[in-house]
Amino acid sequence: MSTPLLPGATIGIIGGGQLGRMLAMAAARLGYQTIILEPQADCPAAQVATRQIVAAYDDAQALEELARDCAVVTYEFENVPVGAAVSLAHKVAVYPPARALEVAQDRLVEKTTLNAMGIATADFVAVDSDADLAAGLETFDGNGVLKTRRLGYDGKGQRLFRDAKPSDAAGVHASMGNVPLILEAFVPFEREVSVIAARGMDGSVVAYDPAENVHLQGILHTSTVPATASAETLAQARAAASAIAAGLDYVGVIGVEFFVLGDGSIVTNEIAPRVHNSGHWTEAACAVSQFEQHIRAVAGLPLGNPRRHSDCVMENLIGDDIARVASLMAEPDLVMHLYGKAEARAGRKMGHFTRLKR
């Protein structure tokens, strides 16, 4: 795609959750139409998009329709089948590139790729058997986090080991489904931060101020800006995110999560080749949100200024938290965003709000 998309062009979005919804809203503000590819007919994104193709993400006919009717295709989550992205890319521009999906979908590939770029991560070992796990536990002094290499998010697909003996590995691989696993050493971090960065088609990169994140039961609870860390540490995080985007020949918004150690150094936890929950604060505290920034990038438009105009705290509304909405909306300087989900369930993200600090 050599020239920016003109208003009225159509952008395809694979995935119909809340991230797809907010991307579709941002696209509409810039004059674009959107088509959502999502198997769930009543998905949140379809409520605000131009239309929806109700089909599996790898349905050949649906992908053909998406390629035919869209000028560019993007996605809202990292578990889009890589084959579908590669197939689409032969017919229509797809951003971020399929390579980013390949890296992000496998935690072992992700960490190996980041290390090759000179980006520090937790120490890790591949686990394909109980024997591998036993050896890894011995290497890491009995401590570590065992994760599925693929899938798993918000704390799912993980098992914690503390002061474990090699014999504690017996039966674990089978209990986790006999799938490829990765054991990561504990990182003695003081806080978690994330950087939302964007890279344009011309290679330009902008990054929002890092957010400090707090998780509860494996799910993001709050993101606070500015983060409590030194200027040098935050600059390291921005530089790492920019290097990762360049190394992947990336186009679009990327989220990069970091651990901050006691000496101020950083260790990269994971990347997300998409808009990110910890960047939702940007819609309230910046002139250009992460969602508009992503649409700008994939449409070939100039990237916007990521500067924030307010300090803020973003908080997720999980499950029954939806009952708090009316009372929260009575607060001044609070920006509410609900996702259009009909049913509140434990652990389900129903919306978020951002408190601006004046």
Q: Can you give the pLDDT at residue 1?
A: 65
**Fold of the CATH domain 10-94:** Rossmann fold (3.40.50)
Q: Any binding-site annotation on 29?
A: no
Average pLDDT estimate for 319-328? 96
pLDDT band at 151; cut points 50, 70, 90: confident
Q: Check: CB of residue 272 under 8 Å from CB of residue 74.
A: no
Q: Any binding-site annotation on 157?
A: yes
Is the model's pLDDT at 153 over the cut of 80? no
Contacts of 57 (CB under 8 A, 6+ apart): 14, 15, 37, 38, 39, 80, 81, 84
Alpha carbons 349 and 274: distance in angstroms, whole number: 17
Q: What is the pLDDT of residues 182-209, one digit of tens each?
A: 999 999 999 999 999 999 999 999 999 9
Residue 132, Cβ neighbours under 10 Å: how many?
17
Q: What share of the chain in percent tops pLDDT 90?
A: 94
Average pLDDT estimate for 8-20? 98
Q: Any binding-site annotation on 319?
A: no
> Domain 123-184: which CATH class?
alpha beta
Q: Any binding-site annotation on 68?
A: no
Q: Any binding-site annotation on 240?
A: no
Q: Any binding-site annotation on 156?
A: yes
Q: Can you give the pLDDT at residue 310?
A: 98
* H-run or E-run covering 12: strand 10-14
Q: Any binding-site annotation on 155?
A: yes
The bridge status of strand 181-184 relative to strand 144-148 is antiparallel
Q: Any binding-site annotation on 352?
A: no
Q: Any binding-site annotation on 103?
A: no
Q: Can you give the pLDDT at residue 158?
A: 86
Q: Can you give the pLDDT at residue 187?
A: 95
Average pLDDT estimate for 337-342? 96
Is the model's pLDDT at 152 over the cut of 70? no
- Residue at token pair 């014999």: 167
Alpha carbons 314 and 208: distance in angstroms, whole number: 15
Q: Can you give the pLDDT at residue 345?
A: 93
Closest CA to 122 of 101, 144, 103, 100: 144
Of 3.40.50.2000, 3.90.1150.10, 3.30.470.20, 3.40.50.300, which CATH number belongs to 189-357? 3.30.470.20
Q: Can you give the pLDDT at residue 43?
A: 96
Average pLDDT estimate for 282-305? 98
Q: Any binding-site annotation on 57?
A: no
Q: What is the pLDDT of residues 251-288, one digit of tens each?
A: 999 999 999 999 999 999 999 999 999 999 999 999 99
Q: Any binding-site annotation on 152?
A: yes
Q: Can you give the pLDDT at residue 312?
A: 98
**What are the extents of the domains in the chain?**
10-94, 123-184, 189-357
List the single range of 6-10, 150-154, 188-192 with lowest mean pLDDT: 150-154
What are residue 357's phi and psi, to 5 degrees?
Answer: -105, 115
Q: Can you give the pLDDT at residue 72?
A: 98
Average pLDDT estimate for 112-121? 97
Is the model's pLDDT at 154 over the cut of 70? no
Q: Any binding-site annotation on 349?
A: no
Q: Any binding-site annotation on 76?
A: no
Q: What is the pLDDT of residues 155-177, one digit of tens each?
A: 567 899 999 998 899 999 999 99
